[in-house]
Structure 1
Amino acid sequence: MDDASLKALLEHLPVFWWEVDETRRALPGRLPEEARRRSASEGRRYAAFADLVDLAPAAAFIRDSEGRYLWANHAYAHLYGTVPEELVGKYIEDFDEPAEADRFRTLDQEILDRGTPVRHTLGYRRPDGSAGRAVGHRFPVRENARTCVAGIYVDVTEHLRATVQWQEAQENLQALRDHSGLPCALLSASGRVVEASAAAADLFQVSPHDLVGRRAHTLLADEPDLDRLHHRWNSLIARRTRRVETSAVLVDAQGLQRRAQLHLTTIGHAAARARHVWAVVTHQSLAHEAHATLTAAQVRILSLLAEGSSNGDIATSLHLSRQTVDYHLSRLRHLLGAATRPALVARAYVLGILAPRAWPPRSATAAHPLSTV
C-alpha cells in the first residue's frame, strides 16, 4: 500500500489520529543528510500508521477496477471468516454470492466514475447467515499508479438491533403507562415529574400537561410519615436500594386527600446515583377532607375493632381502662364521620387508615407486615 492510499484510508478511519512534522532549517552543505533523516522518519511513521489500519476495528479494503483485492485488513477478512492473506489476489465473486458481488461491483464502478468519496450504509450477509448492516465510506485511491477503490466500514448490526430493542421497550413502557389504568409517573432525582400517565393526572384532578414539571412534594400531604419517605427516597437515589414499597397521603387539586400505596423503582444501573425513579400507585383510598392525624393508640383500637373485638377486649389488649377506650371510639366516630361501629371500620378502610390486604387488621402505614401500628 503506497503513502497516498494509506493517507486516504486514514482520513476515513473512525478513530482519531494525527501526524506531526517538525520544520527544520536547512543548513548549507547538510541538506542531503537532513532529507535522508526526514525520509527515514516518515517511513517509520507511515509503517506505524499501516499497522494501525491493519489492526483497526473498522473493516478496510482496496480493490482494483477488476474487483480483485489488493489489500485488506484483519477486520475485513474476519467478515468472511478468513485472514487478509487469503483475500489478496482474489476477486469479489470468490467470497460473495453472485447477486452481492454484482452489487459491490456496481458500487465500485460508481466510485471510479465519480472520482469522489461516497458515504453510505451497506447491507450484507454475515458468516452465520444473518443479515448485517455496515456504515462507512468508499472512495478512490491511487495504488501502483492505478486508480482503485478503497472502503472502510463499521459493522453497526448490533447497535441497530439494540436501538430497535430500546425503541420497542420504550413503546411497551408507554403503552403500559397510558393503557394500564395505573397511576404512574417518572420522577427525576430531584423529585420533579418528567412523565405521567392519564390515570395519575386523574388522581390529582389535573391534566397530564399540568402534572409534568411539578415537584413531587407539592402533591403530598404534610404528615409525620414524610420524613421516612424522604429517607427512603434518598436511599433509592444513592442506589442503596433499587425498589421501595411505601405509602403516602396524596393531595389533589381540590385539596382532597387519599392514602396511596406507592412502588418506587430506580431506572438503569450505569451511574453512581439514580437519575430517574418510576412511581406507581397500586392501591388508593377514597378521597376525603383532611382530618386530624390519628394517634398510634387510636389506629390500634381501629385494628382491634375491625378484628371483631369488644370494647372490653380492646381495653384488656391495650392495658387501658374501659372509659379510655370508650372516649377514643367516640373521638374516632367524630373525626371520621361514622355513627356506628361497622361504619367506623368501613371508614377506616376506605380512608386508607387500615391496610386493605392484611389480616389481622393493621395500620396501612406499618413498616412491617406484622406491625400493628
Structure 2
Amino acid sequence: MDDSSLKALPPSESRAHSFADLVDLAPAAAFIRDGEGRYLWANHAYAHLYGTVPEDVVGKYIEDLDAPAEAGRFRALDQEVLSRGAPVRHTLGYRRRDGSAGRAVGHRFPVRENARTCVAGIYVDVTDHLRLTVRWQEAEENLRALRDHSGLPCALLSANGRVIEASAAAAELFRLDPHDLVGRRAHTLLAPEPGLDLLHRRWQGLLSRRTRRVETSAVLVDAQGLRRRARLHLTTIGHSAARARYVWAVVTHQSLAHEAHASLTAAQIRILSLLAEGSSNGDIATSLKLSRQTVDYHLSRLRQLLGAGTRPALVARAYVLGILAPCAWPPRSATAAHPLSAV
C-alpha cells in the first residue's frame, strides 16, 4: 500500500496502519486479526513467540498456532473486544519455545482494517521480570530468616545512619523494644571515644564505594547506659548507584556490659597484653623499656580502673570488657587495626 492509498483511508483505518508501522520492529509482540480469528498482520516479536517469521503467521487462524483450549480463550477475548468496542487489558499465559511457561501482559483493542472492524493486540513478555521478582522475594525472606534466627545482632542502616531494620538480638543488645530501635540514629547508640573518628572515615569510605566491607570495633551503649565493646562488620548493599544507600551492620563479638571507665593509655593496654601472655612484671618492664616501679604503678592503677584484685582477675576483666581481642594470640588490643598490632 503506497502513501496515496494510505491518505485515502478513513481515520480509523489509518490508525490501524500507523499502529502496525509503529510496533513493527518493537520488542513488544503485536498482531492484528479479523473477526474470524485470521491473522492480517504480526510483527517480528509476535512471530518469534511461535518460532517463526511474520510472513508465516499472516493468513493463519488462531487454531493453527495455539492449542485448542488456548485458541478458544483467545477467540472469546477477541469477540469481547469486538462486541464492546473498547480496549481490554489481558494477561496471557503461553508456552515458551524452551517448553517453560511464559507470561505476557498487554491490551487488545478494536481497529478498522479494509473497512472491517478487527482486533489489534500488543503484549510485553514479563516472564523474566516475574521470575526475578520471585527470586528477589525469596532472597528477602531468606535474609529476614537469617536476620531473625541467626542470633546475631544486626541492623540495616541508611546512608545517614538511621536504623531501617533490626534483628531481635540487636534490640536485646541495646535493651530496647525492636520498634524503638528502628528509626534511631546509629550515633546515639555509640559511646563517644577517640576511635569514632576512624569509624566515621570508614563509614564514608563505604558510602563512596571506595570499599564494600569494613571490620572494626566500637563501644555500644544500651538503654541503661551500660557499655560494651563490639566487633562490627559493615557491608554495603548493591553495586549500581554511585553512593551506597544502605549498609548492613553485624555484631560478631561483644564484651560484657559494664559501666563507663576511664580510657586506657596505649602503654596500659600493652601491659595488659603482655600480662595475658604470661609475662612477669620484670619481663614487662624489659619488653617495654620501663622501670619495674613504673610497671608496678600501672598494674596497681589498672586494678583500680577495672575493679580487679589479682593478676588473673585483671586479665579476665580485660577480656570480658572487650579491652583485649577475644580471638587473638598473642594477646592484643581489641581496637587494633592489624592482627599483629599491639594497640
- In the superposition, the TM-score normalised over structure 2's length comes to 0.95
Is the 1:58–1:152 Cα contact (8 Å) retained in structure 2? yes
Q: Are positions 1:7 and 2:7 aligned together?
A: no
Q: CA deviation at 1:77?
A: 0.8
Q: Paired residue for 1:94, among 48, 64, 69?
A: 64
Q: Secondary structure at the match of 1:142?
A: strand
What is the distance in 1 between the residues matched to 2:258 and 2:101?
A: 60
Q: Paired residue for 1:186, among 148, 156, 161?
A: 156
5+ residue gaps, structure 2, are: 2-8
Corresponding position of 2:169: 199
* Aligned pairs for 1:199-218 within 5 A: 199-218=169-188
Cα deviation per residue 1:64-110 (whole Å; 9 max; x = unaligned)? 12211100011111111111111101112222222222221222222
Is the 2:15–2:111 Cα contact (8 Å) retained in structure 1? no
* Aligned pairs for 1:335-346 within 5 A: 335-346=305-316
Corresponding position of 2:5: none
Q: CA deviation at 1:4?
A: 2.3
Q: How many residues align?
A: 335
What is the distance in 1 between the residues matched to 2:162 and 2:16?
A: 51
Q: CA deviation at 1:272?
A: 0.4
Is the 2:16–2:113 Cα contact (8 Å) retained in structure 1? no
Moved over 3 A (4+): none
Corresponding position of 2:207: 237
Corresponding position of 2:253: 283
What is the distance in 2 between the residues matched to 1:73 and 1:122?
A: 17
Q: Paired residue for 2:193, among 219, 223, 229?
A: 223
Q: Secondary structure at the match of 1:55?
A: coil
Letter of the 1:109 partner, please give it.
Q
Is the 2:16–2:112 Cα contact (8 Å) retained in structure 1? no
Q: Paired residue for 2:292, among 303, 307, 322?
A: 322
Q: Secondary structure at the match of 2:219?
A: strand
What is the distance in 2 between the residues matched to 1:272 and 1:342?
A: 51
Q: Secondary structure at the match of 1:344?
A: helix
Is the 2:89–2:106 Cα contact (8 Å) retained in structure 1? yes
Cα deviation per residue 1:107-149 (whole Å; 9 max; x = unaligned)? 2222222222110211111111111111111122211111211
Is the 2:13–2:115 Cα contact (8 Å) retained in structure 1? no
Q: Are positions 1:293 and 2:301 aligned together?
A: no
Q: Per the alignment, do residues 150 and 6 of structure 1 end up closer, same or farther by CA in structure 2, a change over 3 Å counting?
A: farther
Cα deviation per residue 1:217-245 (whole Å; 9 max; x = unaligned)? 11111111111000000000000000100
Corresponding position of 1:13: none
What is the distance in 1 between the residues matched to 2:319 and 2:113?
A: 84
Q: Per the alignment, do residues 5 and 354 of structure 1 end up closer, same or farther by CA in structure 2, a change over 3 Å counting?
A: farther
Is the 1:6–1:50 Cα contact (8 Å) retained in structure 2? no
What is the distance in 2 between the residues matched to 1:5 and 1:186?
A: 57
Q: Paired residue for 1:263, among 213, 222, 233?
A: 233
Q: Are positions 1:64 and 2:34 aligned together?
A: yes
Q: CA deviation at 1:6?
A: 5.6
Letter of the 2:254 partner, please give it.
Q
Corresponding position of 2:142: 172
5+ residue gaps, structure 1, are: 10-45
What is the distance in 2 between the residues matched to 1:8 and 1:350?
A: 79
Corresponding position of 2:4: none
* Aligned pairs for 1:15-164 within 5 A: 46=18, 50-164=20-134
What is the distance in 2 between the residues matched to 1:325 and 1:300?
A: 11
Q: CA deviation at 1:50?
A: 4.4
What is the distance in 2 between the residues matched to 1:326 and 1:195?
A: 48
Q: CA deviation at 1:8?
A: 5.4
Q: CA RMSD in A?
A: 1.4
Q: Per the alignment, do residues 78 and 258 of structure 1 end up closer, same or farther by CA in structure 2, a change over 3 Å counting?
A: same
Is the 1:267–1:275 Cα contact (8 Å) retained in structure 2? yes
Is the 2:227–2:260 Cα contact (8 Å) retained in structure 1? yes
Corresponding position of 2:322: 352
Q: CA deviation at 1:51?
A: 3.5
Q: CA deviation at 1:204?
A: 0.8
Q: CA deviation at 1:152?
A: 0.7
